[in-house]
Structure 1
Amino acid sequence: MKWQGRQGSSNVRTSSGGGKMIGGGIGGIIIAGILWLVFGVNPMTALQTGQVMAGGVGGNSTTQPATDDSRDTRFVKVVLADTEAVWHQVFNEGGQTYQEPSLVLFDGQVRSACGSATSATGPFYCPSDQTVYLDTSFFVEMRQSFGISGDQQGSGDAENRGKAGDFAQAYVISHEVGHHVQTLLGITQQVNEASRQVTRVQANKLSVMQELQADCFAGVWANRNESLVAGGFLEAGDVDEAINAAGQIGDDRLAQASGRTVTPDSFTHGTSQQRIQWFTRGLESGSVQSCDTFSGAL
């Protein structure tokens, strides 16, 4: 992925402290070592499925603009700027105005408007403060879990050449921004309302639809970005990285990895095949309209 030397977003901030997780949490669905892999394991999903993250009324951690010049911070700024460019374009086409989210980088723990979280929560989006939260250990976990070498260079010219695995990381960030788009479009609110009126199994199905749509929106971002960035930003192997990531975080794959029985009624994010399918659909179409995972369910 060619990202170096490109303009970054001014909406990236760092957290100076967090608070602690109080009770609840995300339960036993996720296993140690791959917690971060479940893109949408976030406070809103927990609320939808009854796995409440406690302590959500204590206010946010103190944040400030991210000013360090580390490689990971620069990368996050560029990816977020790319999502901003794409979604401004998409919303303008629909006669609407895109409201940019914030992205908070934290170390270890953080307090959001949706509750307190630790690095074990993984990247998440909080609709209450319209902010994506990303622990700084995320990049290390990605490289270790996917066998990505931080020193391995991708193809491309010397100035723009990225590192192998960059696109898989960008995919995760764009998925969380996809949840922000859902909030702006009122989809998150509809899912929450519908989930309160149905059984746990039915609420889980709604959660799957919501997560798969965020995957599809990530695909739309990748498609549209190619037309906005001069010469494109995708490199050979980038799409395969994203598909590999999507395949590893399906509910069925995670259940098998943890030695648990694969129980579709308990799924909240979709199977590996579904996640790959919907990301690919967005990538190939570049159209939000192609991302209707709900099919009249709401």
Structure 2
Amino acid sequence: MRWEGNRESDNVEDRRGASFGGGRSVGLGTIAIALVASYFLGVSPMTVLNVLTGGGGLPVAQEQTAHRPPETDHMAKFVSTVLADTEDTWQALFRAEGARYVEPKLVLFSGSTPTACGTGQSASGPFYCPGDQKIYIDLSFYRLMQQRFRVSGEFAQAYVIAHEVGHHVQHLMGITDKTDAARRRMSQAQGNALSVRVELQADCFAGVWAHHADRARSILESGDVESALNAASAIGDDALQRQAQGHVVPDSFTHGTSEQRVRWFTRGIQSGKVTACNTFEARQL
């Protein structure tokens, strides 16, 4: 992926190494329980971790001491550049529709950090919190991608960020509020099915970003798209459940199968159209 030398975002907060009162260390056993429970309950591992560690429900985010990442931090520079690229792309797409794109913040943290959605844990993986319009990522997740899922490549790493930015786009478009309200009126299985459509749309939006970013700045190199597709496939619900428990429970899916995630990312990157990402009216996912 061609990114070095491109603009970096000013919307990155570095909380790594910061200490926040009331935090507790989380053992590997607790993390494993949270991951398995999240599959069966259809909720975020972060929610389960909050319950298991006494983190409470939705604590208000505390004041942080955040700073810009050091210039010598190559990975932080990469993340900042990818975020800037998503800003440029979505600014243009929103402007073309007569709308204003509000840029999200991206928070680098390690271990845990307070958010408007509860205590963020590294074990949850990257996530977006609509309450404070921030994306949270522990950069060690990229090492996990390579070691556990055998997924490598900078564009695969960029896809992760673009997916979370996709959730921010959904928030700005009012989709998040509508789906959250609908989910409260549904059964657990119905709510999970709706969550799948939300996540697949975020995958498609990540593809839309890649389409326009490459046309404008020629960021893609040989093998980049394949690496992103490998990442989408590796984190499908069916693949994760087989790895964790040896079998799949389709009613507990919240993100979509490997095949579905690949399909919707591909639709976004091939079309470059936001309208092509309407997973909510799609008969077949």
Contact 1:42 1:123 (8 Å CA) reproduced: no
1:5 maps to 2:5: yes
Measured against aligned partners, the alpha-carbon deviations of 1:183-223 in whole angstroms (never above 9, x if no partner) come to: 00000000100000111110001100000000000000000
How many residues are aligned here?
Answer: 269
Aligned partner of residue 30 in structure 1, secondary structure = helix
1:115 maps to 2:118: yes
1:156 corresponds in structure 2 to none
> Which amino acid letter does the alignment assign opposite residue 269 of structure 1?
H
Contact 1:124 1:176 (8 Å CA) reproduced: yes
1:211 corresponds in structure 2 to 199
2:254 corresponds in structure 1 to 268
1:57 maps to 2:59: yes
Aligned partner of residue 67 in structure 1, secondary structure = coil
TM-fit CA distance, 1:260? 4.0
Q: What does 1:23-172 correspond to in 2, within 5 Å?
A: 28=33, 30=35, 41=44, 54-60=56-62, 62-69=64-71, 70-147=73-150, 165-172=153-160
Aligned partner of residue 248 in structure 2, secondary structure = coil
Contact 2:153 2:224 (8 Å CA) reproduced: yes
- CA distance change for structure 1 residues 53 and 271 in 2, over 3 Å: closer, same or farther? farther
Measured against aligned partners, the alpha-carbon deviations of 1:61-82 in whole angstroms (never above 9, x if no partner) come to: 5142323020011001100000
- CA distance change for structure 1 residues 251 and 137 in 2, over 3 Å: closer, same or farther? same
TM-fit CA distance, 1:146? 4.6
- CA distance change for structure 1 residues 196 and 286 in 2, over 3 Å: closer, same or farther? same
Please give the TM-score of this superposition, normalised by the length of structure 1. 0.82
Q: Which moved more, 1:52-61 or 1:73-82?
A: 52-61
Contact 2:166 2:202 (8 Å CA) reproduced: yes
Contact 2:195 2:255 (8 Å CA) reproduced: yes
Aligned partner of residue 168 in structure 1, secondary structure = helix
- CA distance change for structure 1 residues 244 and 61 in 2, over 3 Å: closer, same or farther? farther
Distance 1:237 1:280 in 2: 14
Aligned partner of residue 281 in structure 2, secondary structure = coil
Identical columns (%): 47
Q: What's the C-alpha RMSD, in Å, of the aligned pairs?
A: 2.9
1:293 maps to 2:279: yes
- CA distance change for structure 1 residues 191 and 167 in 2, over 3 Å: closer, same or farther? same
Distance 1:55 1:29 in 2: 15
Distance 2:133 2:96 in 1: 22
- CA distance change for structure 1 residues 227 and 42 in 2, over 3 Å: closer, same or farther? farther
Distance 2:115 2:31 in 1: 15
Contact 2:35 2:45 (8 Å CA) reproduced: no
Contact 1:13 1:63 (8 Å CA) reproduced: no
Please give the TM-score of this superposition, normalised by the length of structure 2. 0.86
Aligned partner of residue 258 in structure 1, secondary structure = helix
Give the structure with the larger helix fraction.
2
1:17 maps to 2:19: yes
- CA distance change for structure 1 residues 267 and 180 in 2, over 3 Å: closer, same or farther? same
- CA distance change for structure 1 residues 111 and 265 in 2, over 3 Å: closer, same or farther? same
Distance 2:60 2:23 in 1: 11
